[in-house]
Structure 1
């Protein structure tokens, strides 16, 4: 059973974190409105769409800055406990520093579970609405910028590969289309077309300037036509996913999507893996940041709460900075995504153990 002191600290932990969110989210909304109000007026966006966008923005913003909000809220109320000599009284009563940490760990567990469930279900839906609104109404590239539609290279089956230099999402036309069919590692035939158009009425494709080369044992067979209608076992829109598709999928859908994209030979697979691994790394960060925040702010300093907050802000933004840097490295370099995503937690985990050891002294 929780003792009175546990309930007191746990209540302050959760209440301060909630208040911190309620304080900063309106500030984020006001800043976002001030930046985008001209485009909203110019594009005559319906108020209903704007209201839905800012509901999604609230979830997106809270998830994005979750580590900073949590860290600062713990430092804030723990510094107040230290300045009021409440921590000294608690430790003087015979309670060890490790035992003093228990309600903080319980609070971190509750926040982590909440963040994990949000990342699995609510955040993907919010990201879908947030990004859709941004690309539809606010981004200069418009709807066409929502898809990664240049230099598309995909493996569509175990032995078939396609390539298009560009895909127009509005007209559903692909340019410089190539399809290669292999068997036992040997090329069977290759199809080229200057354009490939999707026919929605009968679910067929029309190839323009069609050329086919079938590889023979002695001689190759060539075939050509100005226009040729055919059926393929793929949808061009599936082959050019939304640039933010991984952020909009629940955990199960994301893992299935990654498996499918890995078979297709997607060049963006690392970006998708970063999103997947962060669903777990961010909740774990709640424990690490909680230990660091308590260790830093539990001592009464000459600068008071201001000194603790200054240290807290520096550490919190350092964590976010590392998280962003290694996320980009995972997407753009050969660094394995799972290592890149967990490096910030590892670095700050070591820091947490060091600070905790000093705080116990």
Structure 2
């Protein structure tokens, strides 16, 4: 097994991979630790005011704060890690020795790209499947102990819950999962064939399946030609193809969905003709694009810092920080354009990668050979 690994990853590759991954983890620990100190200092008064227990602060808030922000700023950590340890290798003339021994710069990039692939895969898995569940806990903590206002009610909600079926709610309270002034209209060939009203509808949170609602003080009118059938009652269990998440929209709600949940939610809302899905589409595509950015930023960082400079790593680190913050800023700007200016979500998510891929190409051309 060791001989197989040695053939696949020679000592040079193992050396660079260990330096890359080690520096990446070290930069995360260092910067996130500083962020925790500043965040705790800023929110200490709120924690005390709202009597947040220490267990909730540690396990509900900061245990989910760390992976969320580590994954969010992963491009920054990748850039810092590559520039830091590559500049150090160049300063010690190790890269010159590698190139003099016959290894091309292209060959040196192989362990860099392998390390970037590991980081990209981990980032995507965490961002798509793990962190969204933690975000639910973290955002609930912020709502309860940091007084971060979240939308818990909606009024005059109208949506298409199925083809030719329109639901309307005069008022909905997400805290109790209860709606008031409900009506459900079913059309065939643009003609109303069924009209249901209920004073109150209650979502069944303990049901084994989705879309279970209980209608209280209901009335159902069934129309067939000139005939009309009326059914009334105090309570009825019914299936209505809508859920509480369809009725309440928060600015950070998309961060609480896993990627499969995001995809299903987007498809469902598009089938209903809803226009309020652009931020969900941006989030879905951004998770893939941000993971792929590890390759681009690794190439830029390695190309910039592989040449030995008189000033040491200071200049390379400064350029790297400027570029990494520019990438994060460009992500924010393109997402804003998608949400507010109608830019396609896929294009908005990938524009930073496209621009930085061009920068990576020119940096690679200028790298030592």
When residues 121 and 238 of structure 1 are mapped into structure 2, their CA distance, relative to the original with a 3 A threshold, is closer
Counterpart of 2:214? 204
> Aligned partners of 2:349, 2:203: CA distance in 1, in Å?
42
Counterpart of 2:209? none
Alignment partner of 1:233 is 2:239: yes
Whether contact under 8 Å (1:120, 1:250) holds in the other structure is yes
C-alpha distance after superposition, 1:131-166 (max 9, x if no partner): 12112221343xxx2557355332211111223354
Alignment partner of 1:181 is 2:186: yes
Alignment partner of 1:161 is 2:171: no
When residues 27 and 187 of structure 1 are mapped into structure 2, their CA distance, relative to the original with a 3 A threshold, is same
Whether contact under 8 Å (2:89, 2:95) holds in the other structure is yes
C-alpha distance after superposition, 1:101-149 (max 9, x if no partner): 11111111111121122123221222122112112221343xxx25573
Alignment partner of 1:64 is 2:64: no
> Aligned partners of 1:10, 1:238: CA distance in 2, in Å?
43
Counterpart of 2:128? 120
Q: Give me the TM-score of the superposition, normalised by structure 2.
A: 0.84
Q: Give me the TM-score of the superposition, normalised by structure 1.
A: 0.85
Choose which of 17, 22, 37 in structure 2 pairs with 1:30: 37
> Aligned partners of 1:10, 1:36: CA distance in 2, in Å?
38
> Aligned partners of 1:292, 1:199: CA distance in 2, in Å?
52
Which residues of structure 2 form unaligned runs of 5+?
1-6, 206-211
> Aligned partners of 2:63, 2:203: CA distance in 1, in Å?
37
> Aligned partners of 2:92, 2:158: CA distance in 1, in Å?
63
Whether contact under 8 Å (1:153, 1:266) holds in the other structure is no
Partner SS for 1:95 = coil
Whether contact under 8 Å (1:251, 1:276) holds in the other structure is yes
Q: What RMSD in Å do the two structures reach over aligned CA positions?
A: 3.2
Partner SS for 1:204 = strand
Whether contact under 8 Å (2:80, 2:321) holds in the other structure is yes
Could you tell me how far 1:40 is from its partner in structure 2? 1.1
Which residues of structure 1 form unaligned runs of 5+?
none
C-alpha distance after superposition, 1:276-298 (max 9, x if no partner): 21221121110000001111111
Whether contact under 8 Å (1:28, 1:61) holds in the other structure is no
C-alpha distance after superposition, 1:257-307 (max 9, x if no partner): 333333333333222222221221121110000001111111223432111
Choose which of 159, 167, 170 in structure 1 pairs with 2:175: 170
Could you tell me how far 1:82 is from its partner in structure 2? 1.6
> Aligned partners of 1:105, 1:122: CA distance in 2, in Å?
24
Alignment partner of 1:13 is 2:17: no
When residues 131 and 331 of structure 1 are mapped into structure 2, their CA distance, relative to the original with a 3 A threshold, is same
